[in-house]
């Protein structure tokens, strides 16, 4: 019996665990290790600051879900990987493996800039549930005495979709609370070379659509922005400009988790794992990585450095490819690679009182087809998808779309 250990209990980790167990059954022992005991539907964190979601609405217990499927769950942090020994250590044990999947997700590099982040800086975050709840408290204080707002993403950041969703929701909430006129400016600050670049080179027709929406909602944008420093009530850019704010949400760059950075030969200087088109480690052939933990190609350089996003859907696809190729190894069948740039971009971007469907034939241009399709009748599709996806992952039905 093969032992397959998976680090991480989010989109990539759960997908891989369920896929492997469903196909290998008693031929493999599947163990999932996570430092959190819950699965979080991360796309819904953008609603938490505005009271549209609470933590129990967007999460479920990992132990209960996994053990119903015959998968062992260890609620503990992974500390170090010893690839030459096929061994890893956690906070509680040493564990050998035949195959290892690293799906540990991101750590957040708030240390990049002085004044960045909710703990030691002046900006807020929606990167995890605790930060989103802290942001909610700050938002409730802000609406009592409004002022300028800045939302955006730093240089090297990659999660631009969340920044767009946040700024649209901020503007929508201001109108809903009837205080929009009390806010002198709403500014989107981004390292993207143009609006709707998203870190993937943009989509056909997306730029004029987003620019028109910004103009309609009275949102100004500063692209190609490199932040120098964040002070109490203003953001200083490298080009000398200053952007005032009273409330700001700024997405930081992601870096790899400590377990990768602490393990010699596993990751690069940022803690991400170099993989091939099977999401297999380039040196250690029984180690795979999927989701944020994996290094993926870039569509090309930009004037200000940006990262490539790895959404929940992309993470799922990478994890499924990794799982299929582990199964192929064990069953001695044909391997099936899938380059990251060939993954279909699929996303529902919430815009407060509406939503936009993002779809294309492959991740990077040129594409045979790609489009942004607005749903002007509300954001009910993303809400329905949230509920469907939580049910799907809680019950292990990753074979469903």
Q: Where are the domains of the chain?
A: 2-108+254-341, 111-253
**Residue 377 vs residue 264, higher pLDDT:** 264
Q: Which of 58, 102, 159, 372 is catalytic?
A: 159
- Give the range among 125-134, 303-312, 364-373, 386-395 with minimum mean pLDDT: 364-373
Check pLDDT > 90 for residue 152.
Answer: yes
Check pLDDT > 90 for residue 369.
Answer: no
Is 127 tagged catalytic? Answer: no
pLDDT tens column, 192-247: 999 999 999 999 889 999 999 999 999 999 999 999 999 999 999 999 999 999 99
pLDDT over 70 for what percent of the chain? 100
Q: Which of 30, 273, 347, 356 is catalytic?
A: 347
Q: Give me the pLDDT at residue 301, please.
A: 95
pLDDT tens column, 81-127: 999 999 999 999 999 999 999 999 999 999 999 999 999 999 999 99
Asked, colleague to colleague, whether 2-108+254-341 and 111-253 share their fold, the answer is yes
DSSP secondary-structure letter at 273? B
Strand 220-222 versus strand 355-360 pairing type: unpaired
Q: Give me the pLDDT at residue 138, please.
A: 98
Q: E strands, 184-258, where?
A: 186-189, 220-222, 227-230, 234-237, 242-244, 247-251, 254-255
CB 353 within 8 A of CB 378: yes
pLDDT tens column, 13-39: 999 999 999 999 999 999 999 999 999
Q: Give me the pLDDT at residue 329, please.
A: 96
Question: What is 51-67 written as a DSSP string?
Answer: TS--GGGSEEEHHHHHH
Q: Give me the pLDDT at residue 236, please.
A: 98
The arithmetic mean of pLDDT across residues 323-332, rounded, is 97
pTM greater than 0.85 (yes/no): yes
Check pLDDT > 90 for residue 175.
Answer: yes
The domain 111-253 is placed in CATH, from the list 3.90.45.10, 3.50.50.60, 3.40.50.300, 1.20.210.10, at: 3.50.50.60
Q: Give me the pLDDT at residue 125, please.
A: 97
Taking CA atoms, 156 is separated from 11, 291, 304, 364, in Å, by: 23, 17, 8, 18
Tell me which residue of 168, 161, 147, 181 sits closest to 217, measured CA to CA: 168
The arithmetic mean of pLDDT across residues 293-315, rounded, is 95
Q: Give me the pLDDT at residue 287, please.
A: 98
H-helix or E-strand containing 383? helix 380-394
Q: Give me the pLDDT at residue 176, please.
A: 97
The arithmetic mean of pLDDT across residues 313-329, rounded, is 97
Class of domain 2-108+254-341: alpha beta
């Amino acid at each position: 019996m093969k032992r397959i250990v998976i680090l991480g209990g989010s989109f990539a980790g759960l997908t891989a665990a369920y896929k492997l167990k469903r196909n290998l059954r008693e031929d493999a022992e599947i163990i999932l290790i996570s430092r959190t005991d819950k699965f979080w539907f991360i796309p819904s964190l953008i609603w938490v600051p505005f009271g549209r979601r609470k933590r129990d609405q967007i999460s479920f217990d990992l132990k209960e879900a996994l053990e119903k499927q015959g998968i062992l769950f260890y609620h503990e942090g992974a500390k170090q990987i010893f690839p030459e020994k096929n061994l890893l250590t956690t906070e509680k044990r040493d564990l050998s493996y035949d195959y290892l999947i690293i799906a540990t997700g991101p750590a957040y590099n708030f240390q990049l800039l002085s004044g960045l982040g909710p703990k030691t800086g002046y900006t807020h975050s929606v990167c995890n549930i605790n930060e989103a709840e802290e942001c909610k408290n700050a938002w409730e204080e802000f609406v009592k005495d409004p002022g300028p707002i800045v939302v955006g993403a730093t240089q090297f950041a990659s999660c631009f979709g969340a920044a767009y969703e946040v700024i649209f929701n901020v503007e929508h909430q201001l109108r809903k609370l009837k205080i929009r006129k009390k806010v002198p400016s709403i500014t989107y600050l981004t390292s993207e070379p143009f609006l709707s670049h998203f870190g993937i080179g943009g989509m056909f027709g997306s730029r004029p659509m987003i620019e028109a929406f910004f103009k309609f909602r009275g949102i100004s944008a500063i692209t190609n922005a490199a932040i120098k420093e964040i002070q109490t009530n203003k953001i200083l850019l490298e080009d000398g400009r200053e952007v005032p704010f009273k409330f700001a949400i700024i997405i930081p760059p992601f870096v790899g988790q400590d377990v990768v950075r602490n393990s010699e030969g596993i990751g690069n200087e940022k803690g991400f794992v170099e993989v091939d088109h099977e999401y297999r480690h380039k040196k250690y052939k029984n180690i795979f990585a999927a989701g944020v933990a994996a290094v993926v190609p870039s569509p090309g350089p930009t004037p200000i450095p940006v990262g490539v996003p790895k959404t929940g859907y992309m993470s799922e696809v990478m994890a499924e490819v990794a799982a299929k190729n582990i199964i192929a190894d064990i069953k001695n069948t044909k391997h099936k690679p899938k380059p990251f740039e060939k993954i279909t971009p699929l996303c529902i971007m919430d815009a407060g009182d509406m939503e936009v469907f993002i779809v294309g034939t492959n991740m990077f241009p040129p594409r045979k087809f790609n489009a942004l399709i607005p749903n002007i009748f509300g954001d009910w599709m993303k809400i329905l998808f949230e509920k469907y996806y939580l049910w799907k992952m809680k019950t292990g039905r990753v074979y469903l779309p």
